[in-house]
Amino acid sequence: TRYFAIVPAAGSGSRMGAEQPKQYLALCGKPLLWHAIAALAAVPRIAKVFVVLSPEDEWWESFDWSTFGTRLQVLRVGGATRAQSVSNGLSAVAGQVAAEDWMLVHDAARACLSVAQVDALIDTLAEDPVGGLLAVPVADTLKRADGAARVAATVARDGLWQAQTPQMFRHALLSRALAACPGVTDEAGAIEALGLAPRLVAADATNFKVTYPQDLALAAQILHARST
């Protein structure tokens, strides 16, 4: 059994509101996407990192990816949704990945992923019958709103986790799950729809998804602190 990573990077970054898609915004001198790939490529057990771009992507070529060599392969098969991009990517690599190989699906926008977190995920799930994902227990008190921004109820946070990526499932199972359930917002959601229970692997909040402009400064701070 081998391990592969697949990084969906075919989004437009609409909430970021920048001119280019957020995966190409500069973070500590490199595009955001570079950091996400770097954390995965630095794990020797991961045989290869596939990155899924939009067929219309006109930004990729303007950056230098040579440091990753043949450990990185570009797939210009992105779709209309994240799930579709991942699904298309899984199909595109079917010739070089076996049914039982593990796929680690990781958002390009989670630029602060650490090698330690990837190792923890793989170590925990290597013998798992289902697979699973990095996640963090919810820390804040949660409110359910009525239609007018008033609190309708406080939601008990016991047992609630925030899903992150990487999410790690075997190639055949994940392909089948996403084909059956294309409306999901993460891989685990599609696996759950098959009646299976993905394992939650405790991560931390530094692996957050860069979504809004104010997230860039925090991401830079996290990466900077790690490099000193």
Residue 18 contacts ligand CTP per CB under 6 A = no
Residue 117 contacts ligand CTP per CB under 6 A = no
Residue 187 contacts ligand CTP per CB under 6 A = no
Identify which of residues 20 and 124 has a Cβ nearer to ligand CTP in the complex: 20
Residue 198 contacts ligand CTP per CB under 6 A = no
Q: Is the dihedral of CA 57, 62, 66, 67 positive or negative?
A: negative
What does DSSP say about strands 102-105 and 30-31: parallel, antiparallel, or unpaired?
unpaired
CA 137 to each of CA 68, 134, 160, 201: distance values in angstroms, whole numbers, following the listed order: 33, 10, 6, 10
Stretch that binds ligand CTP, among 63-71, 72-80, 198-206, 215-223 (CB under 6 A): 72-80
Tell which one of 6, 13, 121, 178 touches ligand CTP (CB under 6 A). 13
CA 182 to each of CA 10, 85, 114, 141, 152: distance values in angstroms, whole numbers, following the listed order: 16, 10, 29, 31, 31
Contact set for ligand CTP, span 21-60 (CB under 6 A): 21-23, 52
Stretch that binds ligand CTP, among 57-65, 107-115, 126-134, 170-178 (CB under 6 A): 107-115
For ligand CTP, which residue has the nearest CB?
11
Q: Report residue 88 as tokens.
A: 């298309």
Contact set for ligand CTP, span 208-227 (CB under 6 A): 209, 211
Stretch that binds ligand CTP, among 57-65, 73-81, 140-148, 174-182 (CB under 6 A): 73-81
Q: Which long-range contacts (CB under 8 A, 24 or more apart) does 10-13 make?
A: 10/52, 10/53, 10/54, 10/57, 10/78, 10/79, 10/85, 11/82, 11/85, 11/108, 11/109, 13/109
CB of 18 to ligand CTP, least distance (A): 10
Identify which of residues 129 and 213 has a Cβ nearer to ligand CTP in the complex: 213
Q: State the maximum Cα–Cα separation within the chain, in Å, rounded to a whole number.
A: 53
Burial of residue 161, with CB atoms counted within 10 A of its CB: 0-12 exposed, 13-18 middle, 19 or more buried? middle
CB of 53 to ligand CTP, least distance (A): 8
CB of 45 to ligand CTP, least distance (A): 23
Identify which of residues 80 and 180 has a Cβ nearer to ligand CTP in the complex: 80
